[in-house]
């Protein structure tokens, strides 16, 4: 069967509320008040990215499109795996005697289809693109932020592409200038965290945003492909609301270690 991959752009923001009205208090810097001094609230048209119900709202939106809205290729949901859907072409079989069908699996914002009915599947993608903003991947084995390689009887999953992209964004030096290090964290990490905890409430907004962006990105590969760094990333995550420059440097060091490198010109940290 032919395999195609696609990404849903900002998937959670494409989920729509259909069964209720949802209100949210605006972030502190965006709050407004009416002439009486009463604070205004926002009526949400879509789920907030990272909100407690955003994943469910997005899933329901996508599933409703496959099973109800798209009347041309109506899909059935798999009873044992609710993220997998199948559309069968009535009574049609391919040259191998298999029923002609489209199988669609989606995990948050990563989707993949298998089909043995190219024309029908291509028309399905036309309608899918009209309904959602998606980006097609050119036959890459990359899904859910992980590289996937497989052969006869084996499967390998890694986060090489994800981590390399992080290095390009965050590290000061090219990877070639980094040397091997086997220690999974800053030697004074707990002391740095205890100091940061005492400063809770005094983190500058720019530092807080920078820290959460880096540590949030480190959290993703840790439990799946880099369990050796789980403890360090867990301690870093405790300081999401009390970041300090020393903790940010410790997070950078963790990124060095994830790549098994430390810069030759690195000065001693803190």
| DSSP secondary structure, 124-149, as one string | HHHHHHHHS-EEEESS--EETTEEEE
Q: Tell me how far apart the alpha carbons of residues 242 and 55 are, in angstroms, rounded to a whole number.
A: 27
Which of the residue ranges 58-62, 91-95, 187-191, 266-270 would you say has the lowest mean pLDDT? 266-270
Which of the residue ranges 15-19, 106-110, 177-181, 221-225 would you say has the lowest mean pLDDT? 177-181
Q: Tell me how far apart the alpha carbons of residues 236 and 231 are, in angstroms, rounded to a whole number.
A: 9
Q: At what angle do helices 160-170 and 205-219 cross, to 10 degrees?
A: 160
Over pLDDT 90: what percentage of the chain?
48
pLDDT of residue 139 exceeding 60, the answer is no
Q: What is the mean pLDDT of the chain?
A: 86
Domain definitions of the chain by residue range? 2-144, 160-263
Q: Which residue's structure tokens are 């369990």? A: 227
pLDDT of residue 268 exceeding 60, the answer is no
CA distances from 258 to 23, 149, 191 (A): 40, 20, 21
pLDDT of residue 151 exceeding 70, the answer is yes
Q: Is 199 helix (H, G, I), strand (E, B) or coil?
A: coil
Q: Which residue's structure tokens are 């592409």? A: 161
pLDDT of residue 152 exceeding 80, the answer is yes
Q: Tell me how far apart the alpha carbons of residues 219 and 114 are, in angstroms, rounded to a whole number.
A: 31
What is the structure's pLDDT at 213? Answer: 93
Which of the residue ranges 25-39, 120-134, 148-162 would you say has the lowest mean pLDDT? 148-162
Q: What is the mean pLDDT of residues 8-29?
A: 87
E-only strand ranges, the chain: 2-8, 22-25, 41-44, 76-77, 84-93, 99-107, 110-115, 134-137, 142-143, 146-151, 154-158, 178-179, 262-263
| Contact (CB, 8 A) for 202 and 241 | no
CA angle 102/105/110 to nearest 5° reads: 125
CA atoms 25, 28, 33, 39: torsion sign: positive
């Amino acid at each position: 069967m032919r395999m195609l991959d696609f990404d849903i752009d900002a998937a959670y923001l494409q989920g729509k509320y259909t069964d209720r009205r949802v209100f949210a208090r605006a972030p502190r810097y965006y709050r407004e008040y009416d002439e009486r001094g009463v604070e205004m609230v926002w009526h949400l048209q879509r789920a907030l990215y990272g909100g407690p119900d955003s994943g469910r709202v997005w899933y329901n939106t996508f599933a409703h499109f496959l099973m109800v809205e798209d009347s041309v290729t109506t899909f059935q949901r798999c009873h044992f795996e609710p993220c997998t859907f199948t559309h069968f072409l009535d009574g049609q079989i391919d040259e191998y005697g298999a029923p002609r069908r489209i199988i669609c699996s989606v995990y948050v914002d990563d989707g993949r289809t298998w089909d043995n009915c190219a024309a029908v599947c291509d028309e399905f993608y036309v309608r899918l693109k009209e309904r959602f903003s998606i980006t097609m991947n050119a036959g890459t084995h990359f899904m859910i932020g992980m590289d996937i390689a497989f052969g006869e009887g084996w499967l390998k999953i890694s986060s090489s592409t994800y981590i390399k992209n992080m290095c390009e964004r965050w590290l000061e030096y090219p990877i070639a200038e980094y040397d091997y290090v086997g220690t999974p964290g800053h030697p004074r990490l707990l002391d740095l965290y205890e100091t940061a905890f005492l400063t809770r409430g005094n983190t500058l907004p720019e530092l807080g945003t920078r820290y959460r962006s880096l540590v949030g990105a480190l959290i993703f590969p840790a439990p799946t492909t880099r369990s050796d760094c789980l403890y360090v990333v867990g301690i870093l995550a405790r300081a999401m609301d009390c970041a300090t420059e020393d903790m940010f440097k410790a997070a950078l060091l963790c990124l060095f270690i994830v790549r098994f490198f430390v810069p030759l010109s690195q000065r001693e940290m803190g």
